[in-house]
Amino acid sequence: MKSKVILTALLSVSLMACAQETPKVKHKKAKTAVKSDAKPVKFANATDPICNMPTEADMKDTAVYKNKTYGFCSAYCRDEFKKNPEKYVQK
């Protein structure tokens, strides 16, 4: 029964092909899980000069002073900075 051997061989090949599909799906899932590649903003200040809190890249309250972007924890700190930036920018 040669045909039965061929059939078995074909069946096992298709099963293997099926098994090989699984990693592809996993890979696709992993890719979707990757965060958006938006570049984090680099602030000129490592810490909020008003409250001394470390600045983070996703801070929304920012002020530009002398072509440098400064990040603040809140609108309050940003406004305080804007009132007197010279006081807070040290060089």
Residue 73 makes contact with Zn ion by CB under 5 A: yes
Query: With respect to Zn ion, which residue has the nearer C-beta, 22 or 52?
Result: 52
Point out which span in 6-14, 27-35, 54-62, 70-78 binds Zn ion (CB under 5 A).
Answer: 70-78
DSSP assignment of 1-57 equals -HHHHHHHHHHHHHHHHHHHHHHHHHHHHHHHHSPP-PPPPPPS-SB-TTT-PBP-T
Residues in the chain: 91
Contact residue for Zn ion among 77, 80, 81, 88 (CB under 5 A): 77
Binding site for Zn ion (CB under 5 A): 48, 50-51, 73, 77
